[in-house]
Structure 1
């Protein structure tokens, strides 16, 4: 009965005691993946402080194990009875090495109390440095991967720009082909027109030459058919006509 009453404050103190562990992962920093099995494979946690002990070296878990069976006084009675049994039956003989061990234990306790905090602070700094190194390596890897993703997005954007550039080049080539086609059509048109103009000019020249030759032939024929007497009479008649016109004027 008394052991249960003594156990209740101890359990309350244990419940109110803050946890002395810290996680070495960044699970709380972001959303956990749905594919990760945290039940069977939980994330490892590193103890920041050592576990709770009693009498300086006995783990508290041993006492908690006895509490369920014997109550609060059980571990102490068991330890005292065990030591008394070992010493009374001379199973553990207290020879000169035992007292040397006590002296050595006192020195160790003094060294731990004297130099323990300094060494612990130094080791904590070393652990923090190693952890910071690991975290920096991870952050650098994340940063390099993020940069690689950004570079890939830029390359995709450039590829899309290249597709637009190819379309523009295709349109330019199409315009150049259209211009070359129209230029060749214009060349064909000018060449055909030049040849047709040549044929028209040739026909005109042939017609003029024919007319000229025909007129010359008719004039020559007429001139050959007119006698000198007829020419003289015609000339005189023309002179008379001119004189009559001049008299009327």
Structure 2
């Protein structure tokens, strides 16, 4: 009967582990919620130093609180009365040995138990240290990857700013060259205008000089004398009025 229960338990664990492996391989990660990681079991309660608490709970439903003790005392009395358990000289040596073990367990047991628990915790910590370091390394890698992505985004912004700066420099150079072209064209136009004005003034001066010269040449001495006499007469008439 016990072997059948053990086989069924082993089969159930194998099926559960198979399902866990299948689910983990499908999703790529362990389902910690439905399939938590096994935790190191702690020893259960005991009575009299070595009898499991489950035995007393089993007898409690049938015989009450004193059932297990009655069974133990009755069994020991039966074995001794029927001489199934012979109390020879080694029996008393066993009693003394049990007494010494009991005293040693009471005196040294807590310290030894604490030391063993500490050793077990150290071993468990050493086993989990690699997993913990791997998790920390992966978390740090994820953090570094996010930082690298953030820096890459910053590089994109920097490249955009550099492109904008280059465009502004090109625009400034374009406007500067436009101003140079405007200045050169204005200077040449001003030169042409000044040249035209100078030519016009020179032509007018030459025309006036030519006209004056020709008019002067056309005036005879008699006309000049008559004009002079008329001017003197006009001046005398103006002086007489004043």
Q: TM over 0.5, yes or no?
A: yes
**Are 1:208 and 2:190 matched, yes or no?**
no
Tell me by how many angstroms 1:199 deviates. Answer: 0.6
Residue of structure 1 in register with 2:42 after alignment: 48
Residue of structure 1 in register with 2:122 after alignment: 129
Query: Whose relative contact order is higher, 1 or 2, with alpha carbons under 8 Å and at least 6 apart?
Result: 1
Aligned counterpart for 1:151 among listed residues 132, 141, 144: 144
Tell me by how many angstroms 1:206 deviates. Answer: 0.7
Query: For residues 227 and 37 of structure 1, what CA distance do their matches in structure 2 show?
Result: 135
Query: For residues 36 and 48 of structure 1, what CA distance do their matches in structure 2 show?
Result: 25
Tell me by how many angstroms 1:109 deviates. Answer: 9.3
Q: Specify whether residues 180 and 108 from structure 1 end up closer, same or farther in structure 2 by C-alpha distance, changes over 3 A only.
A: farther
* Cα shift readout 1:45-93 (whole Å, capped 9, x = no counterpart): 54433999xxx79xx9xxxxxxxxxxxxxxx9xxx9xxxxxxxxxxxxx
Q: What number of residue pairs does the alignment pair up?
A: 182
Q: Specify whether residues 116 and 228 from structure 1 end up closer, same or farther in structure 2 by C-alpha distance, changes over 3 A only.
A: same
Richer in helix (by share): 2
Query: For residues 142 and 132 of structure 1, what CA distance do their matches in structure 2 show?
Result: 14
Residue of structure 1 in register with 2:235 after alignment: 242
Tell me by how many angstroms 1:112 deviates. Answer: 8.3
Residue of structure 1 in register with 2:60 after alignment: none
Query: For residues 154 and 192 of structure 2, what CA distance do their matches in structure 1 show?
Result: 56
**Are 1:169 and 2:167 matched, yes or no?**
no
SS of residue in 2 equivalent to 1:171: helix
TM-score by length of 1: 0.55
Q: Specify whether residues 42 and 160 from structure 1 end up closer, same or farther in structure 2 by C-alpha distance, changes over 3 A only.
A: closer
Query: For residues 145 and 161 of structure 1, what CA distance do their matches in structure 2 show?
Result: 24
TM-score by length of 2: 0.56
Residue of structure 2 in register with 1:228 after alignment: 221
SS of residue in 2 equivalent to 1:49: coil
SS of residue in 2 equivalent to 1:220: helix
Query: For residues 112 and 148 of structure 1, what CA distance do their matches in structure 2 show?
Result: 55
Mind listing any 5+ residue stretches in structure 1 that lack a counterpart? Answer: 1-32, 61-75, 81-98
Tell me by how many angstroms 1:164 deviates. Answer: 2.0
Q: Specify whether residues 109 and 217 from structure 1 end up closer, same or farther in structure 2 by C-alpha distance, changes over 3 A only.
A: farther
Query: For residues 116 and 128 of structure 2, what CA distance do their matches in structure 1 show?
Result: 18
Residue of structure 2 in register with 1:68 after alignment: none
Mind listing any 5+ residue stretches in structure 2 that lack a counterpart? Answer: 1-25, 55-74, 80-88
Tell me by how many angstroms 1:198 deviates. Answer: 0.5
Q: Specify whether residues 37 and 208 from structure 1 end up closer, same or farther in structure 2 by C-alpha distance, changes over 3 A only.
A: closer
Query: For residues 135 and 39 of structure 2, what CA distance do their matches in structure 1 show?
Result: 22
Tell me by how many angstroms 1:149 deviates. Answer: 2.3
